Structure formats: structure tokens, C-alpha cells
């Protein structure tokens, strides 16, 4: 595919590229793309760079409109986009800067198991997970929540489900925001959003959502790995899911409402999916109240999924929770808007940080990370494609320049239809089985859509964020068993 981007791009250093604000009238700040030369080429093959420039129009945006190395063409924002707006200087919040899958995110669980323990039981484990964890389009969870409990779940998030038997109290300690961000307002969530979320708690979803059994195959930072109780050969479980229908409906309704805010607040943006409203307006507050409900729902959902998966491990290995040691390493969102404080030109400012397909990466010592992790920094969970690797990283001080944000995954290289076309006549599950990876999927075409070659190489993405100094490798995992929606 040829290069679509024809605009200016200036090299800052080996990992940073600038789209100057002179590119388009209306850009308030420069755009910055984190990539090496090769990845920049991929990013410029679709409309992602144009979208980086479009995001620079958002009122109140500070520093830069940024894209991480896994960036690709999204809707409104690029996937992999980061933008912060100054709340007290008319800064806006845009539902399109969070996305439909509010608090889509990652969870990493450690175990006491080693690769050799897993080998004889791998098939049973994958089939067990496939049977016990509801996945796929239209799937329904077995967790039924009604009436006033629904509102409680949206406010209390993970805690509510833990209190009702889905996991352990200590899981909350290792979840971003302890699994419930403050300021959730259940009255800002429409009856329709409740209705779409009702039967979906504890369901994985479909498309790129997954559950993966992995083994740590490389350790880069032994000290940090030890803090996370991981070593070479350790078996891990990774979960990727979000807020399901509830989040989609919230984004949908507020995106529509916010179209009317553009004229009301005199805002001009080049794409309707960038519709936004000032954070301090009634509309902005209502959206954030609803978005936080969806975020809490997503944390509760991943908590349920982990609980279901722990049950399957206990059954298959005939071991108790203590012997299995399935402790949560961390859970972190990669589609969310957060209110955070930063020093901008010598003054502390309150910012609304949009991370759309980007992961929060707080540095060592940050007050919002678990006590046990204070010395090494916040864990950052980066999934790759199902045939190659995934990573555990930690945040760094230098990432202040990205509002402590980093990449979120490999990022797609091929469209879904191109991937299906490329895989015609092939059995992806057999190809993976030959590499020792067992996969199960509920969707007919999911495996082809999610074929490894459809993604960028996560190893290259991670080497860019490490090279740029915005996060640091702790260990690398290799997939053994994969359940796709």
C-alpha cells in the first residue's frame, strides 16, 4: 500500500516525529508521533497522521497531540492517540477520544505453574476456559444484576463483584483506581445503556478481545520481575476486555449529544467524531459521570472474567487457590479519559488526559501505584498478536512528556478484510498448533481477522517506547493457549 500522508513531517530524534501546527489552520499545537523510521512508514499508510493533526484542534489542548508507535487509523482520534486538555482553560472532553469500548483494558495474572506443568493439560485448560468463559458476539454472562444493584456496581466497580464472591479483596489493590474511579454518576447513564449492559457482565466480547495463557520467556529487569513474582518459565494469564454494550451505548449517545455542543460552545473540529464539550460544562460533567460508570463496569467485568478463569485452572489442575498462586499482577485501562495534575510551564494544571488505545504508565514513586510497586513503577501490560509475544513494562519518569502514557499493543497492520483474504484456504489454528499454541474462537472469521501477520510486530513497538524512554521492559511472554471472542 502506498503512503497516504502527504503533509509535513519533521524528525525530532530517532523515535519522535513532528507534524508542525502550521500544517493546517486550526491546529492549536504540534502533533508528535512516536515511531522509528520503519513504523512511521506504516503509520503514514492510512489516515492516522491526519487524525493526529485533527486532534490538535481540540480547545484547551496542551503540549502536543500525540500518537504512540502502535498508532493506526481510528475514528475521530487515531487508535494510539493521547491528548490532554487544560480543564480550567476551557479544555474539552471528547467521547471520541475515549472510544466506544470505554475502559477497554488489560489484566495480567501470575501463577505458580511452570511451562512443563502446563504441557500435559494445555488442551484441557484451553477447552475449559472456552467452555466456562462466555465469549463471542451476543453472548450472555451468568452474572445477573438487577435494579438498585446495577447502580451500585457502576459506582463500586470491582469491589461490588468481589463483595459478591467474584475474587479476593487483594485483587482490588492491584487494579488501576482499585477498580472504581471516583465521580461515577449512575443517573447520567441512560436506561438503554443499562439495558445493553444487563446480561453482559462476565462476558469477554468478541473481535480482538481475548484470554491468553502464556509463559514468561525472557526477563529484562530481574529486580522488577521479582517484585511482580515472575521469572523465566512462569505461566501467566492475560485478559483483554472492556465495558461491553454498556460502554458502547454511553459513547454512542454522548457522541450524538456533543454534536450539538459544538455550535453551543463555538467549537470547530474537522471530524464529527471529535465532537466535544468543555470538561466544566454540564454536558462535559454528565459524560464523565457516565464514562466513569462504564469504566467501573469494565473493571468489574475483567474481575469476573479472572474469577471464572481461576475456577477453570483449579478444576483442570486439581489444585487449590493457594498452590496455584493466581495473583493479579495488575489491571490497567487503555481507552479512557482521566483527570490528572501536571506541571505545565512551571504551574500545576489540572488536565483531562484522553488515552485512546494508549496505556497509563506512572513512574516509580507515583502516589497512585500500589505500595509494593512503588520502587519499580506501574506495570504496563502490552498484548501482541496471538502468534508472537506480549510484554510487561513499567512506567518511567521521562514519560511525563506523554502525560505518563505509552503504547497499548501491537496495533493493526492489515484491515480485517485484508487479513481474511490473506488467510483464505489456510488453517490458522493448525499453523499455530504447529508452533505449540492452542487456539479456540467462537467467531467464524475471528482467527483469520486476528492472524499474527495482521498486526505490527509488538517487539518493534516495544523497542520504540523503550528507545524513546517512555517505558521500560520487565519481561516478555509467549502465548501457549488463546481464547478469542
Partner 1 sequence: MTKKYEQFSHTADIGARIYGKDLKELFENAAFAMFDIIADLEGLEATVARAVEVEGEGYEELLVSWLDELLYNFYTKSIIFSKFEIWEFSEKKLKAKIYGRPVGVNRNRLKTEIKAATYSGLEIKKTAEGYQVEIIFDV
287 is a contact residue toward partner 1 (CB under 8 A): no
Nearer to partner 1, 176 or 449 (CB): 449
Of the candidate residues 151, 168, 192, 397, the single one contacting partner 1 (CB under 8 A): 192
Residue 416 binding partner 1, by CB under 8 A = yes
Task: Check residue 445 for interaction with partner 1 (CB under 8 A).
Answer: yes
For residue 418, state whether it binds partner 1 (rule: CB under 8 A): yes
Which residue's CB is nearer to partner 1, number 54 or number 296?
A: 54
The interface region with partner 1, picked from 211-219, 267-275, 291-299, 391-399 by CB under 8 A, is 267-275
The answer to whether the CB of 460 falls within 8 A of the CB of 476 is no
> What is residue 363's DSSP assignment?
P
Residue 417 lies near partner 1 (rule: CB under 8 A) = yes
Q: Which range of residues in 11-19, 56-64, 190-198, 379-387 is near partner 1 by CB under 8 A?
A: 190-198
Task: Assess 100 for contact with partner 1 (CB under 8 A).
Answer: yes
Of 411, 407, 390, 409, nearest to 479 (Cα)? 390
* DSSP letter, residue 9: -
CA torsion 42-45-48-53 (nearest 10°) is 110
248 binds partner 1 (CB under 8 A): yes
Q: Report the residue from 207, 325, 370, 467 that binds partner 1 according to the rule CB under 8 A.
A: 207
Beta bridge partners of 64: 30
The whole-angstrom separation of Cα 99 and Cα 93 is 12
Q: Is residue 79 within the footprint of partner 1 (CB under 8 A)?
A: yes
Q: Is 368 one of the binding residues for partner 1 (CB under 8 A)? A: no
The window from 69-77, 223-231, 309-317, 463-471 that contacts partner 1 (CB under 8 A) reads: 69-77
Distance CA 97, CA 75 (A): 9
Q: Does 136 bind partner 1 (CB under 8 A)?
A: yes
**Residue 77: CB minimum distance to partner 1, A:** 9
**Number of residues that this document lists for the chain:** 485
Q: Which of 60, 99, 128, 479 binds partner 1 (CB under 8 A)?
A: 99
Distance CA 89, CA 138 (A): 43
Angstrom distance (rounded) from CA 61 to CA 89: 9
Judged by CB under 8 A, the residue of 188, 201, 273, 406 near partner 1 is 273
Residues 139-158 that bind partner 1 (CB under 8 A): 139
Residue 271 within binding range of partner 1, rule CB under 8 A? yes
- Is 196 an interacting residue with respect to partner 1 (CB under 8 A)? yes
- Closest contact distance (angstroms) between CB of 221 and partner 1 is 31
Q: Would you say 110 or 196 has its CB closer to partner 1?
A: 196
Q: Which is nearer to partner 1, 48 or 235 (CB)?
A: 48
At 443, phi and psi to the nearest 5?
-80, 145
HSE-up of residue 338 (Cα within 13 Å, Cβ side): 27
Question: What is the phi/psi pair of residue 180, to 5°?
Answer: -160, 105
- 183: alpha, beta or left? (left if phi > 0; alpha if psi -120 to 50): left
Give me the catalytic one of 354, 366, 408, 421: 408
Q: Give the Cα-Cα-Cα angle 26, 67, 102 (nearest 5 degrees).
A: 95
Q: Are 134 and 140 in contact (CB under 8 A)?
A: yes
Which residues sit opposite 93 in a β-bridge? 277
Binding piece for partner 1, criterion CB under 8 A, among 13-21, 164-172, 205-213, 380-388: 205-213
Q: Does 471 bind partner 1 (CB under 8 A)?
A: no
Q: Which stretch binds partner 1 (CB under 8 A): 151-159, 269-277, 359-367, 474-482?
A: 269-277
C-beta separation of 45 from 18 below 8 A: no
Binding test (CB under 8 A) with partner 1, winner from 251, 308, 461, 462: 251
Of all residues in the chain, what percent are helix, strand and coil, respectively (each to 5)? Answer: 40, 25, 35
Q: For residues 307 and 160, what is the distance between their CA atoms, to the nearest angstrom? A: 13
* Residue 334 is among the residues annotated as catalytic for this protein: no
Q: Binding of partner 1 at residue 62 (CB under 8 A)? A: no
Nearer to partner 1, 369 or 414 (CB): 414
Q: Quick check: 166 binds partner 1 (CB under 8 A)? A: no
Q: How far is the CB of 69 from partner 1 (least distance, A)?
A: 14
Instruction: Count Cα atoms within 13 angstroms, Cβ side, for 398.
Output: 10
Residue by residue, DSSP assigns 78-125 as: PEEEEEEEEGGGT-EE-GGGT-SSTT-EEEEEEEEEEHHHHGGGHHHH
- Is 32:16 a contact under the CB 8 Å cutoff? yes
Residues that bind partner 1 (CB under 8 A): 46, 48, 72-76, 79, 96, 99-101, 136-139, 192, 195-196, 205-207, 245, 248-249, 251-252, 255-256, 259-260, 271-273, 275, 412-418, 443-445, 485
Among all residues, which ones are annotated catalytic? 408
Amino acid at each position: 500500500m502506498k503512503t497516504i500522508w502527504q503533509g509535513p513531517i519533521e524528525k525530532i530524534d530517532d523515535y519522535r516525529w513532528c507534524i508542525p501546527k502550521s500544517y493546517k489552520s486550526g491546529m492549536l499545537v504540534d502533533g508528535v508521533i512516536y515511531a522509528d523510521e520503519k513504523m512511521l512508514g506504516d503509520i503514514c499508510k492510512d489516515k492516522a497522521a491526519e487524525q493526529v493533526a485533527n486532534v490538535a484542534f481540540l480547545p484547551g489542548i496542551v503540549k502536543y497531540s500525540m500518537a504512540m508507535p502502535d498508532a493506526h487509523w481510528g475514528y475521530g482520534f487515531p487508535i494510539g492517540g493521547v491528548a490532554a486538555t487544560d480543564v480550567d482553560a476551557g479544555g474539552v472532553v471528547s467521547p471520541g477520544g475515549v472510544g466506544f469500548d470505554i475502559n477497554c483494558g488489560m489484566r495480567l495474572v501470575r501463577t505458580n505453574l511452570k511451562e512443563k506443568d502446563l504441557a500435559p493439560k494445555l488442551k484441557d485448560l484451553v477447552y475449559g476456559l472456552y467452555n466456562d468463559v462466555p465469549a463471542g458476539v451476543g453472548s450472555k454472562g451468568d452474572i445477573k444484576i438487577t435494579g438498585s444493584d446495577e447502580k451500585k456496581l457502576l459506582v463500586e466497580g470491582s469491589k461490588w463483584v468481589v463483595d459478591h464472591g467474584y475474587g479476593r479483596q487483594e485483587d482490588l489493590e492491584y487494579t488501576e483506581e482499585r477498580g472504581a474511579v471516583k465521580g461515577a454518576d449512575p443517573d447520567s447513564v441512560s436506561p438503554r445503556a443499562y439495558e445493553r449492559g444487563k446480561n453482559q457482565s462476565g462476558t469477554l466480547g468478541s473481535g480482538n478481545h481475548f484470554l491468553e495463557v502464556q509463559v514468561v520467556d525472557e526477563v529484562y529487569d530481574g529486580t522488577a520481575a521479582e517484585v511482580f513474582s515472575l521469572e523465566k518459565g512462569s505461566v501467566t494469564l492475560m485478559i483483554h476486555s472492556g465495558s461491553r454494550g454498556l460502554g458502547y451505548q454511553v459513547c454512542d449517545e454522548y457522541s450524538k449529544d456533543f454534536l450539538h455542543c459544538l455550535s453551543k460552545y463555538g467549537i470547530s473540529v474537522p471530524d464529527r467524531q471529535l465532537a466535544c464539550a468543555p470538561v466544566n460544562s454540564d454536558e462535559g460533567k454528565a459524560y464523565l459521570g457516565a464514562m466513569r460508570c462504564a469504566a467501573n463496569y469494565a473493571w468489574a467485568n475483567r474481575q469476573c472474567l479472572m474469577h471464572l478463569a481461576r475456577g477453570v485452572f483449579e478444576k483442570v489442575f486439581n489444585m487449590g487457590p493457594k498452590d496455584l498462586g493466581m495473583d493479579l499482577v495488575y489491571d490497567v485501562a487503555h481507552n479512557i479519559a482521566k483527570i490528572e495534575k501536571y506541571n505545565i510551564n512551571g504551574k500545576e494544571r489540572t488536565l483531562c488526559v484522553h488515552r485512546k488505545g494508549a496505556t497509563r504508565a506512572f513512574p516509580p514513586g507515583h502516589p497512585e501505584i500500589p505500595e509494593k510497586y512503588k520502587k519499580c513503577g506501574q506495570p504496563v501490560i502490552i498484548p501482541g498478536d496471538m502468534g508472537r509475544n506480549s510484554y510487561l513494562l513499567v512506567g518511567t519518569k521521562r514519560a511525563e512528556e506523554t502525560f505518563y502514557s505509552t503504547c497499548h499493543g501491537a496495533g493493526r497492520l492489515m484491515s480485517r478484510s485484508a487479513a481474511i483474504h490473506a488467510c483464505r484456504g489456510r488453517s490458522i489454528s493448525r499453523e499455530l498448533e504447529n508452533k505449540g499454541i492452542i487456539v479456540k474462537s467462537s467467531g467464524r472469521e475471528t482467527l483469520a481477522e486476528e492472524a499474527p501477520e495482521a498486526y505490527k510486530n509488538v517487539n518493534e513497538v516495544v523497542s520504540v517506547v523503550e528507545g524513546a524512554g517512555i517505558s521500560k521492559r520487565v519481561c516478555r511472554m509467549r502465548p501457549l493457549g488463546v481464547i478469542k471472542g
